[in-house]
Structure 1
């Protein structure tokens, strides 16, 4: 049975918390006109500072996912040691995650006032498992975490199942190896392996241990990998070298202090920034917290969320449809196909005119930061009316269209806003996501209605990606998009 790679075909049965109704009566995903089926995900992480910050953001967006597991793994940068032969290396312990869930519990009642589907703290605690943490690439031990991943991989829920690797892949590798050891002598093994390979999608951030190339790819050659080898750096420690100057304000101290660090509740009090004077116990080698270090960064400048792209590309409530196909691009970056699935690729940076491997991520920085800022407000706002919420965009003609060369298409956009805010409209062509090699001329691009003529040099099968942005005038200003894909007949 073929399981297509699209969030719209994820498991129909969400967990009991994912189906709960918030007090505003609509889930954020439903407000945005997206599929009500949430992506099934397992998060694995290694406890680095940027994992901690990514996990904080993840908790604010946890209502958008059907979370199947939160698993602690090691990496080449962080491991616990085995108490005998292997000494701990930059080990931050495993209790910080429980502490963050405790802090999430304090803002959970407020979050539920603004959107449905936030998982209960008890549910999150039940999903937290310790995996293979003793050493880098260690996958010999069967652990609680590996057995949990194995169980979810083998369940009867349809795919896809997204396994996100914020650290090493060793716990996931151990789970797959346990499945192989159990079933490889079974006559049905080829069918079992095929079904799993069609179901599981791994999102890999860098190669943080050797198990992807050493075990997973050789033994599971048809398993799909979304491989982010460099694009993530644009939302990580070296962001000043990657993010265009026009978008850097959303990562600088004044923005961070106003929207996250000051007066936004106990969970965001744990959010780490450059030179903030808050050491990370166990990771003495990471000196970025020290006020006398990294002087090119201001105190409270954004530090890193290098792992957040792995879940941001699944955030289809925004209307960008990036989970349908990683080549489309969205808040989690954009990818090109390769032998194993997808690899991070380039967009043309309009500032430099060059193909830029960071720009598929950095083009969205201001938007995704504003969206997070609104959710930060949700956590401290006990009334729906005390915070901003995303507008809703739609396109009368639909999102998947066909047109002939020379045909003129007119697209009618429409927006509404739950807070009664004023809306503005903008249409633009995402040329990097197109398979058509040229560009189209949009009329009325700054209005709700746009039109264009399919160019004469377009070939049958070419696709043209048009993005409608609807932006409110709330604080912070929020957007909802619609992606119209026009296929040339």
Structure 2
């Protein structure tokens, strides 16, 4: 997106600047799948942004999909209640905002937690709603914007595979991919022709404090623009003490700026490139310091124990990974034919040391080291998932790195325009 500056000079007026977004062809039909209310408060911030810009979209579903944490649709309802209190102020300046009662009617509960190795589980209110929306008779695709795990999307595709031709997906991956390895693997292996944007890192360009413009410094954006004069504003301070870290918002920005059918274009929500392989490494052993994979790629460890007995898809061992002051635990499963397996996806470039624990002596106590590199998707390998012509991801050009963030400049370059545009709507609420 280019910024259009119109400078008007008169003897009694001063120069002014107007930012111009590229128009979208039509209001996009969107369904949001969010882990709001879980452990990461950025979804609450992004939900605030969505509600304040609800006039820009045909919102058809709000689905609580907490792959991690205790999120539920009641948290979405709570946010809608706040929006309802502030709506009269918004409507003084703009028409077309979504009705609160309508938004409540399309809010659905999705899957809680992570699915097992197979990648899907059982239908939920949320997955059924995706199917229903995708089957509507219309010439416009349904955009599924995923802010958390892919469990409900995977379930919808499993239950109604024909909808893959009617939907387009924009996924904020990264840490969400780490938690959603099995459902991602199911989708990428069974639906390679799905239309899919996989944003694993570019989104960081919106909220990284690196090279911030002076008038939209994230740490004081709340005190300068948001404030506590509205219901949404008073609530916003509860998330990261008001510091803007709305990592899922680039999916909305992408739909607001230009033609979403072209992911390679420049837009507020990033610019992406095609890729034809989703990297996966399959090993029949634990890793060593000589093993490396690209961040956000799948490591799959498999162990064969002859004549063992376990229920298929049952958790039979754990990978324990030190992370800061805590230890994260990832489940491994019995997948049949005497084979036990686990998938792990590192969310960033790092060196990981892990230990396996199990009641099975053949697995218990095994340790490993893994190096994750900082270029996604990296080199091709024999175990990679092959993709069709409509998968897009973060651009790998070194000139587009925002510090260490791959593709980050495709978003960060618009940060000032994005946040100043949002500040206008906060001014409406602060009147």
Question: TM-score normalised to the size of structure 1?
Answer: 0.55
Which of structures 1 and 2 has the larger relative contact order (alpha carbons within 8 angstroms, sep 6+)?
A: 2
2:260 equivalent to 1:260: no
Residue 124 of structure 1 corresponds to 103
| Structure 1: distance between partners of 2:205 and 2:250 | 10
| Structure 2: distance between partners of 1:149 and 1:335 | 25
Asked if 2 retains the 8 angstrom alpha-carbon contact of 1:173 and 1:211, the reply is no
Q: CA offsets per residue over residues 32-90 of structure 1, 9 Å max, x none?
A: 78357210010000123011111001111111001110001122xx2xxxxxxxxxxx3
1:360-399 map, 5 Å: 360-381=410-431
| Structure 2: distance between partners of 1:36 and 1:352 | 30
Residue 401 of structure 1 corresponds to none
CA RMSD between the two structures: 2.8
Asked if 1 retains the 8 angstrom alpha-carbon contact of 2:400 and 2:407, the reply is no
Judging changes above 3 Å, is the alpha-carbon distance between structure 1 residues 94 and 126 closer, same or farther for their aligned structure 2 residues? closer
| Structure 1: distance between partners of 2:259 and 2:154 | 26
Q: Secondary structure at the match of 2:92?
A: helix
Residue 69 of structure 1 corresponds to 61
Asked if 2 retains the 8 angstrom alpha-carbon contact of 1:111 and 1:378, the reply is yes
| Structure 2: distance between partners of 1:352 and 1:134 | 32
Residue 323 of structure 1 corresponds to 260
Where in structure 2 are there 5+ consecutive unaligned residues? 1-19, 277-386
Residue 27 of structure 2 corresponds to 38
Pick aligned residue for 1:336 from 262, 273, 289: 273
Judging changes above 3 Å, is the alpha-carbon distance between structure 1 residues 353 and 110 closer, same or farther for their aligned structure 2 residues? closer
Residue 200 of structure 1 corresponds to 167
The structural deviation recorded for 1:127 is: 0.8
Judging changes above 3 Å, is the alpha-carbon distance between structure 1 residues 135 and 218 closer, same or farther for their aligned structure 2 residues? closer
Pick aligned residue for 1:313 from 248, 254, 267: 254
**Which structure 1 residue ranges, 4+ long, deviate > 6 Å from structure 2?**
350-355
Judging changes above 3 Å, is the alpha-carbon distance between structure 1 residues 179 and 350 closer, same or farther for their aligned structure 2 residues? closer
Q: Secondary structure at the match of 2:46?
A: helix
Q: Secondary structure at the match of 2:160?
A: helix
| Structure 2: distance between partners of 1:255 and 1:175 | 39
| Structure 2: distance between partners of 1:213 and 1:92 | 20
| Structure 2: distance between partners of 1:102 and 1:323 | 30
Judging changes above 3 Å, is the alpha-carbon distance between structure 1 residues 217 and 255 closer, same or farther for their aligned structure 2 residues? closer
Aligned residues: 290
Asked if 2 retains the 8 angstrom alpha-carbon contact of 1:273 and 1:301, the reply is no
Q: Secondary structure at the match of 2:235?
A: coil
| Structure 1: distance between partners of 2:25 and 2:140 | 15
Q: Secondary structure at the match of 1:159?
A: coil
Q: Secondary structure at the match of 1:313?
A: helix
Q: CA offsets per residue over residues 235-285 of structure 1, 9 Å max, x none?
A: 35xx12xx324x26513333321201232x011211147763xxxxxxxxx
